Structures are given as C-alpha cells and as structure tokens.
Amino acid sequence: MGSLVPFQDLNLCPEPPLPATVNISTSASPSATINRTTTFNFLTPKIEPKQEPFDEPTPTQTIHQEENFLFSVSNSTPDFIPNPETTAPANASSSADDQNALYSEYFRISELFRSAFAKRIQKYGDVEVLDPDSRAIVPVPEQSQLTPETSPTDGSNLERALSVVVSRKKAGRSNELVRVTNLGIDDQRHFRDLVRRTRMMYDSLRVLVISEEEKRTGPGNGRRARGDLRAAAVMRDRELWLNRDKRIVGAIPGIEIGDVFFFRMELCVVGLHGQIQAGIDTLPASQSSSGEPIATSIIISGGYEDDEDSGDSIIYTGQGGQDKFGKQCMHQKLEGGNLALERSMHYGIEVRVIRGLKYENRVSGKVYVYDGLYKILDCWFDVGKSGFGVYKFRLSRIEGQPEMGSSIMKFAESLRTKPLSTRPMGYLTLDISMKKERVPIFLYNDIDNDHDPMYYDYLVNTVFPLNVFGQGSNSTGCDCVSGCTEGCFCAMKNGGDFAYDYGGILLRGKPVIFECGNFCQCPPSCRNRVSQHGLRNRLEIFRSRETGWGVRSLDLIQAGAFICEYAGVVLTRDQAEVFKMNGDTLIYPNRFSERWAEWGDLSRIFPEYVCPSYPSIPPLDFAMDVSRMRNVACYISHSSSPNVLVQCVLYDHNNLMFPHLMLFAMENIPPMRELSIDYGVADEWTGKLSICN
C-alpha cells in the first residue's frame, strides 16, 4: 500500500536548471549586444500543495520519528539527494556543474533501476517489483504476521504487537469513480454500522497506543504519542480502511452530515478525505480514465487569507504558492488540485466539504465536521491579498440536505452560554437536577404540553439495599498516596491493568471494573476514579415526535468518555415481584446488550485477541425501580446501533451481584445528537422502553 504522506517521487525529479542567458548592451555601441552565459543561484520559495496543519502541535523531530515508524523506508529520501536544511551551501562558482552532474547521474541510476528491477510500471509513476527473485534493493515481506510471542492478550507483549512494522504491500486507492445512490433502509443501516465499527476500532486502537506509551514514559513527559498515526497505519496494513476499492464521488455510505472527527487520519480511514495533509482530495489525471483530474472533497479551516466562508456559500482559494505560514508567495497555476476543481465544475461533479473548527477538548485543539455536498459554480483567476495571482472557486451547498454540522456546533455553543436568548421558548427548567449534578441538565419541550420529567425526584446515584454493603470485603484498598500506579492492589483487582487511560477514557470494556473506593489512600484525582465523579457534559432532556422523550448533549463527547450513571432504586427478585404487581416501572439490567465487549475489540487486527473475561461477574439478578426516582439516563432512547454502552462498575462496595451501571460513549457524539442505548428489549410500537413514553 502506498504511503499516506505525499513524499517526493524520486522518479519525477525536476529537470536540471538551465543556465541563464543575459543580454548586455555596452554604452560605446548600443547596437552591439554581448551574449554571455551566466549562472545565478536564485532563491525560489518551496511550492507545496494547499495543506492543513497537523491535528495537534508536535515537534518536527517527533513527527519525523512517527513517520519513520509508520511508512515504508522505500519512501524516504536517498542519502545522495542533498537536504537544503542540513547541507552547507556549495561554492557558487562550481554549484551549477555539480548540480548538473548530480542530476545526470541520478537519471542514469533511475533508468538503470527501472530496466533492471521493474517488469511493469504503473501509469501513475510507481514502480512495482513483481518478481520475488528480482533482487530488489529492499526485500519486502508479503504481510507482517504476529507471532505467539507478541500476542496482544498478554499486557506485557501488547506494545510489541502494536509496534510491529507495517507491511510494504501495495494496495493503493482505486481509479474507478462511482456515485452511490438509492440505498435502501437495510443498506443504509449496514453501511452505517460498518462505519461505526470501523471508527470504534480506530478509537480503541488509538487510545490503547497512547496508553502503552504512557506506561513506558509516564504522563506529562512533554512528548505526546501520535496514536492517531500509528492506529491508522496498523489498520491500513490489515486492509481495514474503507472505500479503497472504489473512489466515491458524492456522499459516502454510512457517513452522516454532522459526523465529527478528531483527527485527519480518521478521515482517511473511513474514506471521507484521502489526503493526510493536503486540503484537496483528487483523482489524479494519471489515474483517471479520461486523463483529467477530478476533485472529490475539500477541507476548509479558515486559515488562508483569501478564503471566504459564509456557510452555504464558499469562496475557496486554490493550492500552490503558499509558504509554511499559509501566506501566498508566488502565483498559482491551473494544475493539480486547482485543475481538478475546475474539471469537477466543468463536469458538474459535486464535492464533499469538511470544515476544520477550533474546539477546545482533551484530545486536540481542532475537530473536523462533515457538512455535506457542494456544487462548484464558478472559477476565476484573481489577485490575492498578498499581491499574487490565485485561483478562486465559488461553491454552493446543495439544497435538501440536513443542517450543517458546523452550524449545529455553533448553535450548541451559544446554548451553553446563553440558552434563553438563543431559544426563548420551550424551556421548562434550566436544571432538572436542582443543582444535584455538577453541571445543569436542561428540560426542553416545544412540541406539546407534556411536563412528565418534572414530576419525579431526581436521583444522582443508584440506591442499593443496605445489606449489599455488608456483604463481601470492603475494608481493603490501595496504598497509593499520590495516585494509583501499575501493579497496585486496585490494578490487580482489574486483572493487572487499569481500565482507563490518564485522560479518563475507557481502554476496553470488561465484565466489571473495580474503581478505587473509600478505603483507598489515593486522592480524588486518581485515574481509577472516573465514573464516581458524576456528570461532566451538559445534557438536555428534550421532547421528540419520533422517540418521545430523549437525551442529547450540548458538548462534544469523545469516544470512550464517561457520560453518567443509569440510576434508580435497586430491588431484589422478591421485591421486584411485589412492585411489578403494583404496576411500577422496572428496569432489568440483565436485558441490556453486552455492548461493552465491542469497545476495545481488536480481533480483526490481532487474531489472538480474546475478549476480557476477568474480572468475572455473575448474571445480574435484580431490578431497578425508576417509577418515582430517576436520573437523566432513564430518558435515553433505545437503538439497535447505539452510541452509548453500559459498563458495570464497583467502587463503594465489592458485592459483584449489585454493580453500578455506568454509561460510556461508543463513538464521538456531536452536540445535539440524540444518545441511544441497546436495552435489549423494547416496546414494539415506539422502539423505546415504557419508561420513556
């Protein structure tokens, strides 16, 4: 598979510079002209494609180290090509001759390599060695295989399993352009579930990579592991990237408008945008059957001086001629991505638009939101603000699409700060918890006069029977004074490692998680006390015509992050029978689908992966009464493809038969998107439990 980073193609090295001819007129004889061949060393700016910055600031040295880990050594620059940043300037009088000799020798070696080692040359310029006995300079294995010594089921060997060098097998993107239309409901669900599982695998692998790095170096060491790059590389090696067999024009099946991504690499993994840094994704002319480039998607972040973004209408500046600060330093040309956009306009081909927005979070300072399809209406050459010629493209959003995700995020931001001025009508209360939670919970209904959630007492934590705390040993805990470390007592209870990383993200689901409790010496900031601190994100209970009452977040929730507890009054089997006869509303936790097993499931990457079975837990044989006291989680809708999972957690007692039901995000949940749980059993008419009707 080809490299994701646009390394320089050594077979397409620029022609040697020609000596400049200068005409000099003498004052004695104006008509006499002396032709002299003089060599000048002009300083020309580096021309790069229109690029976006990496997802988070990383030192240049760190980026190079990650690239060396991820990508084939065959893509690295040979030693005989000088590096302008490290090579000392040569003598001006001999630089031209040396450079010409260097290029001549390079072209000779390049042609010699082509004729000696390559039986066939791809039309896009890549050399592929087909004969395994052709004595290639860099022998390449067919595929990297994990040996039993690197089984990821063993925590000590997991790092070696993740650090296995990816294979050099080429599996480039297809040159076949297709448009997917008229998908049935079953097809839409299939592709949506495929994208959801792929993103969940990517997020699980990414947080696992970062966790292994933190184990080795410790948190806060000044160098953040690029888990996004390493996770994408491993998935690429296992051929788990989506939409590589077809180059899709228009909407990508399974990706909805408003989906949010924290990393550019995730866009590549799902096939939404295939360039790791360039802002225009194209089918090059060399790969196109028509011989003309076609643009399929663009990313606009507002970081370029000539871009104008008003939402439904965009003035997009072409690529080329920018320096590393995004300033124009020379004229643009109608080539590459610029020509691809012009050809897409000519053929009436729409492009996908992804917006990069600044968003303060614990992952990165920017998020990428898919905003739908745009038509290219016009193209012209203009003088930019820096005085250089630039190509500009006018894009207009196609009508009939759902609201833009970037607009929804801005709307949610205004709701967090000034809800009444943003939505003057519809709020029943601005905090249904009556300040019992750390953050307020809105109650909103602009459909009818139903005020049902206001008639119940708000319950922050689950109420257990008193005898639960007397069963089992609850007088033991860890002795970690400044915070739990690997190998402590609580880590051993969890099978030898913690369930969360240092950012509080769930690494993998387990039958039950033991958090530090009242008898532990560690502080409240301990990494093993994630779910017991309560609600973090601002939630809103809202009235819906489709699902009755539902729950959505005003904040962006990261995949693997804790949301809240599913709280109620716990009843034993005998008590549940009595309450059921009275017509009370009961929840049976044993009916919840075991979605926790999906989070962290890396069986498609590591065949030796085994779903965690320790610590084990007996079948949940209790009911939960939410007929009089409940919390916000009781209004979350049911879905067969949920974005929230239920994880059993123990911290205030050690009775395995009565765990807390904690909710974690299975994917990145954008603001104002409804939360959903797989309850296992739902009402056949509404698709929700009776509690939410």
- CATH homologous superfamily of 459-534+556-677 equals SET domain (2.170.270.10)
How would you write 465-494 as a 3-class SS string?
A: CHHHHHCCCCCCCCCCCCCCCCCCHHHHHC
* pLDDT range class, residue 260, cuts 50, 70, 90: very high
Question: Which amino acid makes up residue 498?
Answer: F
User: Count of alpha carbons within 13 Å of 483, Cβ hemisphere only?
Assistant: 10
Does pLDDT of 33 surpass 50?
Answer: no
Give the C-alpha separation, 195 to 345, whole Å. Answer: 29
Q: What percent of the chain has pLDDT over 90?
A: 48
CA 482 – CA 459 distance, rounded (Å): 31
Distance of CA 95 to the CA centre of its chain: 46
Q: Which residue has the higher pLDDT, 134 or 658?
A: 658
Token duo for residue 679: 């309850």
Residue pLDDT, tens place only, 231-247: 999 999 999 999 887 78
405: left (phi over 0), alpha (psi -120 to 50) or beta: alpha
Kind plus residue range of the DSSP H or E element containing 104:
helix 95-117
Residue bearing the bigger pLDDT, 158 or 590? 590
CA distances from 255 to 127, 179, 195, 261, 297 (A): 34, 14, 7, 11, 14
> Comparing 370 with 575, which gets the higher pLDDT?
370
Residue type for 665, please? A
Q: In residues, how long is the chain? A: 693
Q: State pLDDT tens for residues 297-354.
A: 999 987 778 889 999 999 999 888 888 777 788 899 999 899 999 999 999 999 999 9
- For range 58-80, the mean pLDDT: 37
Nearby residues of 509 by Cβ (< 8 Å), 6 or more positions away: 595, 596, 597, 598, 599, 600, 612, 645, 647
What integer is the mean pLDDT of 184-193? 93
pLDDT at 110: 55
As a whole-number percent, the residues of the chain with pLDDT over 70 amount to: 70
CA distance 475 to 464: 18
pLDDT band at 366 (very low <50, low <70, confident <90, very high): confident
Q: Work out the average pLDDT over 220-227.
A: 67
Pairing of strands 562-565, 660-665: antiparallel
Q: What is the pLDDT of residue 77?
A: 33
The fourth-level CATH superfamily of domain 178-409 is SRA-YDG (2.30.280.10)
- Tokens 């390394």 map to which residue? 7
Among 85-89, 165-169, 171-175, 403-407, top mean pLDDT goes to: 403-407
Structure token pair of residue 560: 């693997």
At 627, list the tokens: 């007929």
pLDDT tens sequence across 629-685? 999 999 999 998 999 999 999 998 888 999 999 999 999 999 999 999 999 864 444
**Higher pLDDT residue, 464 or 692?**
464
- According to the model, what pLDDT value does residue 100 have? 58
pLDDT of residue 431: 96
Which region among 79-83, 381-385, 671-675 has the lowest average model confidence (pLDDT)? 79-83
List the structure tokens of 494.
């969890």
**Secondary structure element (H or E) that encloses residue 578, with its range:** helix 573-581
Structure confidence at residue 173 as a pLDDT band (50, 70, 90): low
CA distances to 346, 397, 628 from 314, rounded to whole Å, are 18, 9, 52
Determine how β-strand 247-248 pairs with β-strand 177-178.
parallel
Q: Which of 147-161, 520-534, 548-562 has the lowest mean pLDDT?
A: 147-161
- At residue 40, does pLDDT exceed 70? no
> Which pLDDT value is given to residue 358?
87
At a CB cut-off of 8 Å and minimum separation 6, what does 225 contact? 209, 210, 213, 214
414-418, 481-485, 657-661: least confidently modelled range:
481-485
CA nearest neighbour of 165 among 79, 277, 74: 74
Instruction: Give the integer Cα–Cα distance in Å for 149 and 664.
Output: 32
Neighbours of 302 (CB within 10 A): 11
**Quick check: 150 pLDDT over 80?**
no
Average pLDDT, the chain: 77
Dist CA 605 CA 608 (whole Å):
9
DSSP E strands, 405-525:
427-429, 441-444, 457-458, 513-514
- Looking at residue 221, its pLDDT comes to 59
Helix ranges restricted to H, 644-689: none
Structure tokens at 653: 């007692």
Q: What is the pLDDT of residue 216?
A: 79
Q: What is the pLDDT of residue 476?
A: 79
**pLDDT, mean of residues 545-564:** 93
- pLDDT tops 80 at residue 134: no
Phi then psi for residue 546, to 5 deg, are -90, -40
Phi-psi region of 527 (alpha: psi -120 to 50; beta: other; left: phi over 0): alpha
Q: State mean pLDDT over 257-268.
A: 94
| Domain boundaries defined on the chain | 178-409, 459-534+556-677
Look at residue 168 in the predicted model and tell me its pLDDT: 38
List Cα–Cα distances, 448 to 185, 261, 423, 681, in angstroms: 30, 35, 16, 27
Q: Measure the CA–CA gap between 145 and 165, rounded to whole angstroms.
A: 10
**Exposure class string for 337-365: b at 16+ Cβ within 10 A, else e:** bbbbbbbbbeeebbbbbbbbbebeeebbe
Helix (H, G, I), strand (E, B) or coil at 291: coil
What strands lie across the sheet with 539-544, from one edge to the other?
A: 427-429, 441-444, 539-544, 548-553
Taking 90 as the threshold, does the pLDDT of residue 402 lie above it? Answer: yes
Provide the greatest CA pair distance for the chain.
Answer: 119
Tell me the C-alpha distance between 402 and 408, whole Å.
10
Q: How many CA atoms lie within 13 A of 556 on its CB side?
A: 28
Residue 16 confidence (pLDDT): 43
Give the per-residue pLDDT at 319: 86
137 Cβ contact partners less than 8 Å away, ≥ 6 residues apart: 113, 117
Q: For residue 148, what is the DSSP state? A: G
30-39, 285-294, 638-647, range with greatest mean pLDDT: 638-647
Give the pLDDT of residue 21: 40
Per-residue pLDDT, 666: 95
Residue type, 662: M
* Measured distance CA(317)–CA(385) in Å, rounded: 11
Q: What is the mean pLDDT of residues 142-146?
A: 36
**pLDDT given at position 304:** 75
Task: Calculate mean pLDDT across residues 430-459.
Answer: 94
DSSP conformation letters of 210-248: HHHHHHHH-TTSS----HHHHHHHHHHHTT--SS-SSEE
Tokens of 372: 């739908």
